Amino acid sequence: MQESKDKNVLYSNASAWELLSPSEEKLMNERVANYMKFVGACKTERATLKYLKAEAAKLGFKELPPLGAGKALKPGSKVYFINKNKAIGFAVIGKRPISEGIRMVAAHLDVPRIDVKSNPLYEKHNMALFKTHYYGGIRKYQWVTVPLSLHVNVMSLEGKEISFVIGEKPDDPVFTITDLAPHVAAKLQKPRTSEELIHGEELNLLVGHRTAPGTEEEKQDRVKKMVLEILKKEYKITEEDLSWAEIRVVPAYKPREVGFDRSMIGAYGHDDRVCVYAGFQAIASIDVPEHTAAALMLDKEEVGSTGPNGAQSDLVADFMAMLCEATSGKTDFASIRNAIVNTKVLSIDTNAAIDPSWESAYDPLNSGKIGKGPWVAKFSGKNGKSGSSEVDMEFLGYLRRMFNKENIPYQFGEMGKVEEGGGGTVAYMLANNNMEVVDLCMPTLCLHSPFELVSKVDYHYSVSAYKVFMENSY
Ligand code: MN
Ligand code: MN
Query: What is the number of the ligand closest to the CA of 426?
Result: 1
Helix axes 456-471, 393-406, angle to 10 degrees: 110
Say which CATH superfamily domain 113-251 falls into. Aminopeptidase i, Domain 2 (2.30.250.10)
CA of 271 to the centre of ligand 1 (A): 5
**Cα–Cα distance between 78 and 94 in angstroms, integer?**
10
Mean pLDDT of all residues in 130-155: 98
Contacts of 8 (CB under 8 A, 6+ apart): none
What are the CA-CA distances from residue 125 to residues 50, 205, 210, 317 (Å)? 40, 14, 12, 53
pTM above 0.85, yes or no: yes
**Cα–Cα distance between 102 and 371 in angstroms, integer?**
30
Give the pLDDT band of residue 213 (cuts 50, 70, 90).
confident
HSE on the CB side for 262, CA within 13 Å? Answer: 8
Per-residue pLDDT, 195: 87
Domain ranges of the chain: 2-111+268-471, 113-251
Q: Model confidence over 268-313: pLDDT tens digits?
A: 999 999 999 999 999 999 999 999 999 999 999 999 999 999 999 9
Contacts of 347 (CB under 8 A, 6+ apart): 106, 425, 426, 427, 430, 437, 438, 439, 440
Q: Model confidence over 365-378: pLDDT tens digits?
A: 999 999 999 999 99
Give the pLDDT band of residue 3 (cuts 50, 70, 90).
low
Say which CATH superfamily domain 2-111+268-471 falls into. Zn peptidases (3.40.630.10)
CA of 112 to the centre of ligand 2 (A): 7
CA of 111 to the centre of ligand 1 (A): 8
How many other C-beta atoms lie within 10 A of the C-beta of residue 53? 17
How many other C-beta atoms lie within 10 A of the C-beta of residue 439? 26
Give the pLDDT band of residue 452 (cuts 50, 70, 90).
very high
Mean pLDDT of all residues in 189-202: 94
CA of 23 to the centre of ligand 1 (A): 31
Query: What is the number of the ligand closest to the CA of 274?
Result: 1
Question: Does pLDDT of 217 surpass 80?
Answer: no
CA of 157 to the centre of ligand 2 (A): 35
CA of 98 to the centre of ligand 2 (A): 32
Query: What is the number of the ligand closest to the CA of 442?
Result: 1
Mean pLDDT of all residues in 200-222: 88
CA of 23 to the centre of ligand 2 (A): 33
Q: Model confidence over 5-22: pLDDT tens digits?
A: 455 677 777 899 999 999
Compute the mean pLDDT over every residue in the chain, rounded to the nearest whole number.
95
CA of 340 to the centre of ligand 2 (A): 26
